[in-house]
């Protein structure tokens, strides 16, 4: 046992025991023991860091860095530290830092906070992404850093980078709070990129997630969910799916009254009513910083109404379109129709000579190779998913705590019906 009271000895140890994995485990034990000592020495540690190689001695470096960042420091110092941490995140070995995820997360957190204080969130985008990739065992794992990263993306408007991360399908979650924030920020990023379908999915996850008490995140998510649902689907059903937690079902609607009224007003399809309603409740939407979305909701009414026309009419004059969807002039109607044709939302052709619009059917015939490939890949995806589901189910039914719980409940409910069922599992 080496004495831990001198910094030099510790550094020497770190340098010596960073080779193979058994050494590292031994080192980890030493480091844990000297945690207190490191905190007390935190002000003197910074120069020591230069003696270590962040790639080779990642674990030791991480412990020292954590101690360094735990102490308060000045703004100039912060600037230097940000650089050091960023370099460390880029260089460190994933295998070593995963031994002390808590330390790594807290370093990254402080890094993010400092960057925010310095008002340069851009500097955190790339390092945090790397940090996430190094920290997570697989892309299916949600780490505590996910929400932080998404928040940074939001504040720098790097929606695309954020979106990239959101494409990984998360299924392993440790902290419910991380999950809520991840979905909420993720939803906002998707809204920013106008991927409303994905946004809806993420927000829906927040609203329907199991929770015992209602969280503010869920309330905000529900507000956005209502709005996005109106924009994307053109409708909103106030009923919750049955797996929604009772806490959410009970009280979520009480907090979102103006939004529910907005949805009601939307369903009438009358643009003027909707506009007056929005005008009247403008302040509430501004406070929630949802005014932009609300405006998109209003403009989506036009689209919705024009889309409805394509179902009923084969040809229709621009004048009639303008009248039906309450646009002021045929010119404006033309702009809307044109935009929608461009976005692939309707299939139509405008005859400018006599001002008629001819609505066409969806030209997709499902005959092309691309389409077949697309269908095939979908089928593959479904099969993989369903396999995963079965595996999960099997795992669940072998889980000791599940089996004992299920066994207990069975005993309570149908004592007589199941004589073959073991009545107690002593696991």
Partner 1 sequence: MEADDESTGQMIDEIYANGGDPPSRPVISGEQLDVEAYAALYSGRTKIVRLLFIAERCGGGAMELESLRMAYDEIKKGENTQLFREVVQRIDGRLGPEYGPDPAWAVAVDRRAEQRKEKLENELNAYRTNLIKESIRMGYNDFGDFYYTHGLLGDAFKNYVRTRDYCTTGKHITHMCLNAILVSIEMGQFTHVSSYVSKAEQNSQNSDSLDTITAAKLRCAAGIAYLEAKKYKLAARKFLETSPELGNNYSEVIAAQDNKVIDNINFRNFLELVPEVRELIHDFYSSHYASCLDYLGSLKANLLLDIHLHDHVETLYEQIRSKALIQYTHPFLSVDLHMMANAFKTTVAGLEKELEALITDNQIQARIDSHNKILYARHADQRNATFQRVLQTGNEFDRDVRAMLLRANLIKHDYNQKSLRKV
Shortest distance (Å) from residue 303 CB to partner 1:
16
Round to the nearest angstrom and report the end-to-end CA distance of the chain: 40
Residue 282 vs 395, nearer CB to partner 1: 395
Residue 158 vs 321, nearer CB to partner 1: 321
Q: Tokens 């110092």 map to which residue? A: 77
Shortest distance (Å) from residue 348 CB to partner 1:
12
Shortest distance (Å) from residue 318 CB to partner 1:
12
Q: Do residues 259 and 226 touch, judged by C-beta distance below 8 A?
A: yes
Residue 61 vs 222, nearer CB to partner 1: 222
Residue 146 vs 204, nearer CB to partner 1: 204
Look up residue 88 and give its two tokens: 């460390």
Cα distance between residue 348 and residue 350, in whole Å: 7
Q: Do residues 266 and 274 touch, judged by C-beta distance below 8 A?
A: yes
Shortest distance (Å) from residue 404 CB to partner 1:
10
Residue 80 vs 393, nearer CB to partner 1: 393
Shortest distance (Å) from residue 393 CB to partner 1:
10
Cα distance between residue 130 and residue 90, in whole Å: 7
Cα distance between residue 164 and residue 396, in whole Å: 31
Task: List CB contacts of 140: < 8 A, sequence separation 6 or more.
Answer: 168, 169, 170, 171, 172
> Applying CB under 8 A, which residues contact partner 1?
169-176, 179, 201, 204-205, 208-210, 243, 308, 311-317, 320, 356, 359, 361-362, 364-366, 371, 374-375, 378-379, 381-382, 385-386, 388-389, 392, 396, 401
237: helix, coil or strand?
Answer: coil
Look up residue 401 and give its two tokens: 């705590």
Dihedral of the alpha carbons of 293, 255, 143, 140, in degrees to the nearest 10: -70
Shortest distance (Å) from residue 161 CB to partner 1:
22
Q: Do residues 85 and 58 touch, judged by C-beta distance below 8 A?
A: no
Residue 250 vs 387, nearer CB to partner 1: 387
Shortest distance (Å) from residue 26 CB to partner 1:
28
Residue 120 vs 360, nearer CB to partner 1: 360
CA 198 to chain centre: 10
348: helix, coil or strand?
Answer: strand
Cα distance between residue 95 and residue 134, in whole Å: 8
Shortest distance (Å) from residue 206 CB to partner 1:
11
Cα distance between residue 183 and residue 146, in whole Å: 10
Shortest distance (Å) from residue 199 CB to partner 1:
12
Going by the DSSP 8-state scheme, the letter that residue 141 receives in this structure is: B
Q: Do residues 199 and 207 touch, judged by C-beta distance below 8 A?
A: no
72: helix, coil or strand?
Answer: coil
Residue 184 vs 277, nearer CB to partner 1: 184
354: helix, coil or strand?
Answer: coil
Cα distance between residue 166 and residue 97, in whole Å: 24
Residue 184 vs 285, nearer CB to partner 1: 184
Residue 120 vs 371, nearer CB to partner 1: 371
Shortest distance (Å) from residue 374 CB to partner 1:
8
Going by the DSSP 8-state scheme, the letter that residue 415 receives in this structure is: T
Cα distance between residue 337 and residue 307, in whole Å: 9
Residue 418 vs 425, nearer CB to partner 1: 425
């Amino acid at each position: 046992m080496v004495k831990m009271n001198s910094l030099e000895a510790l550094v020497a140890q770190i340098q010596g025991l960073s080779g193979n994995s058994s050494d590292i485990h031994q080192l980890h034990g030493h480091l844990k023991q000297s945690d207190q000592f490191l905190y007390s020495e935190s002000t003197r540690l910074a120069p020591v860091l230069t003696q270590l190689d962040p790639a080779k001695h990642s674990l030791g470096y991480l412990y020292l860095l954590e101690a360094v960042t735990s102490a308060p420091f000045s703004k100039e110092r912060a600037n230097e530290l940000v650089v050091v941490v960023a370099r460390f995140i880029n260089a460190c070995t994933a295998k070593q830092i995963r031994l002390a995820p808590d330390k790594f997360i807290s370093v990254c957190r402080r890094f993010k906070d400092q960057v925010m204080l310095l008002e340069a969130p851009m500097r955190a985008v790339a390092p945090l992404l790397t940090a996430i990739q190094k920290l997570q065992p697989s892309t299916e794992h949600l780490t505590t850093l996910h929400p932080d990263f998404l928040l940074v993306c939001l504040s720098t408007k790097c929606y695309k980078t954020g979106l990239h991360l959101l494409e990984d399908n998360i299924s392993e979650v440790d902290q419910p709070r991380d999950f809520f924030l991840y979905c909420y920020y993720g939803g906002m990023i998707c809204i920013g990129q106008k991927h409303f379908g994905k946004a809806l999915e993420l927000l829906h996850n927040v609203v329907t997630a199991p929770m015992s008490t209602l969280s503010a995140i869920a309330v905000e998510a529900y507000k956005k969910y209502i709005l996005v649902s109106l924009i994307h689907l053109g409708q909103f059903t106030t009923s919750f799916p049955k797996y929604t937690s009772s806490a959410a079902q009970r009280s979520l609607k009480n907090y979102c009254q103006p939004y529910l009224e907005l949805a009601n007003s939307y369903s009438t399809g009358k643009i003027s009513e909707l506009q007056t309603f929005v005008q009247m409740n403008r302040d509430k939407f501004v406070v929630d910083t949802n005014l932009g979305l609300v405006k998109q909701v209003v403009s989506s009414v036009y689209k919705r109404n024009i889309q409805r026309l394509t179902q009923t009419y084969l040809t229709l004059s621009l004048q009639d379109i303008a009248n039906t969807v309450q646009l002021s002039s045929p010119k404006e109607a033309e702009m809307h129709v044109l935009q929608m044709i461009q976005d692939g939302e309707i299939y139509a052709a405008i005859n400018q000579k006599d001002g008629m619009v001819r609505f066409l059917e969806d030209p997709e015939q499902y005959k092309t190779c691309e389409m077949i490939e697309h269908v095939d890949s979908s089928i593959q995806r479904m099969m993989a998913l369903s396999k995963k589901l079965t595996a999960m189910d099997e795992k669940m039914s072998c889980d000791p705590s599940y089996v004992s719980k299920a066994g207990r409940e069975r005993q309570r409910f149908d004592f007589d019906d199941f004589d073959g069922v073991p009545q107690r599992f002593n696991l």
